[in-house]
Structure 1
């Protein structure tokens, strides 16, 4: 087993975990129902985003409060990935997945009771915890079920399924709120959808035949494969570049649509967020015939070009062109993230799936947490267009770092 570097636990011991041999039918059931839960949980995290403008008028949220909602969400994610990313290794993928859905429902119920900014922060924190468990436990469930038959599909879901879920929630709440003008209806319907998705676990086999000990997973640990440190660095740079920009849209798609695209439509705010998230799912399949290295080059080139395109089109207040640039950015995110994650999954043992996925997501979310502190002041100082130019510069710097490090990779 390769050595691992850990900031608090400096070595991950050999695991006794073993995957169960699943039939193709069992694997597909696990993949499908696990993916539906993945989508549902992240849809629930997107529901409040187009509604922030409504919350600003109803309960007095400020732009700073909107920025801090993303911070509380990221804190929930980061703490979960740091403290509980391997929870499903010991307690089982299905059990922790069920817990994830329960927490997502609790987040919706807290939003139903929100009367001030503190309740909104609490709801976003709980949603962050559920998202962190989804990124580790549900991702591992999906990958473990399908990897024997189609690893590319599993890596695409683990790296980009959250974006599709966010798109579904964003579009859904845009349509529902446009018809009802009720935040209560939006969160109530989402809670029901989550409950229904949990019922699918009845048809999902737990892919682990032998689990890790409970003592071994209840530690603060980060797994970095010693023999794949370059690939780990590449994955973290690309996740950070794309997720920071994605986090910006999660926090500000609604006020951005009002200020720069001159529309108070909740549906347009939802379309902005969806364009920046949803097409990511097709990024991996689009470059499946390329070598992993060539796919990275294509993804990086598209990432840099689309980042500049988003800033230019927003400055021109060109709604259609801006949505197109956002969609190209999303495709670049799918290409870069799914390809870099697949590089890591083929480099580690099957028992390390949740550990490596959790570690990549942890570093990405830590970076997003740092930037979330800056989003509010950044928008206040340079506006939305200037902020996108700054994010384009950050993406360019990280892309150069990846190009320098990734040359020896295949």
Structure 2
């Protein structure tokens, strides 16, 4: 079986992809801008070298003196920008200061050993002006950093605005999902389409149509079950009365079958009344008294002994309808007696916690309505009625089977 698909968020996906596209575009823009900035700054630095060489030539021409061999750091002692002047013909004993780069051939720009050099011959001198490539790169990085610092606030503002815009665009989807998720299982009213965009209107309208159809089907099912159960009660009672008057042993043996059929009809009627919300008042009801009456009624025909621990209570008032409480407790007890394989232990605490426990050969509880064990003679409605009634009464219910014992725990709401 394939693993379940992990749920994903439309808003998060839309936001992440838009942000990814925008950030990618900005990064590409920054990279291109950096390349353009590097090219423009290199041209500017080359213009600076050309201006320095031309100024030096003009100075030599205006001074009218022979060029003196020297290396001059344009920035004091930094060794990153160098102006080198060498006479074409050296006087006797003159020494040429060493250059940070190898000898150059010809005038013009040269790239050698980490330097960008402009060489020019004029006024009887060789003039070489150079920039260190490292210095150029550092200057370019500083300029790019300043540009980036100016752009980052704009990027942050853009990202914030995109998140807000995508959140507002996905708000109707989130509102519709929240409204559907917050609905009670029995709420089949149409979904409101107010404020929804055109893209979501067909979804809301189709969902509302499905709910209306489901409500009609449920109403028809409930009416059918209630009418059928109600109409069957009187004929079954009449048949049972006639069978009891007969002296035929075979006829008398059919009476328990009629009683079992009557109980099934009563459960169907209880289920229909529960789904219709009939008979679910707030009480109060004496849970101890109801339990004692039910146990006394079930003991004579029970397959296994029923032991009742009442915690020495004299009364226990709970906030629920007496008839609904009797239906709920009777179904719990009948299910334990019918499906268990040993004595039934019933315990009621002063806090309103009712537990019913007994041995069983079953390994798991029925999965749903009309689901029953292999040896059951019922229709699988008992636990369904118990679960629905407990939910309607606001009484937390826990059911389970562990280590060969079935246990039902019901927390009844105390009155007052």
TM over 0.5: no
User: Normalising by structure 1, what TM-score?
Assistant: 0.24
**Higher percent of residues as helix:** 1
Q: Over alpha carbons, which structure has the higher Rg?
A: 2
Higher relative contact order (CA closer than 8 Å, sequence separation 6+) = 1
User: Normalising by structure 2, what TM-score?
Assistant: 0.24
**Higher percent of residues as strand:** 2
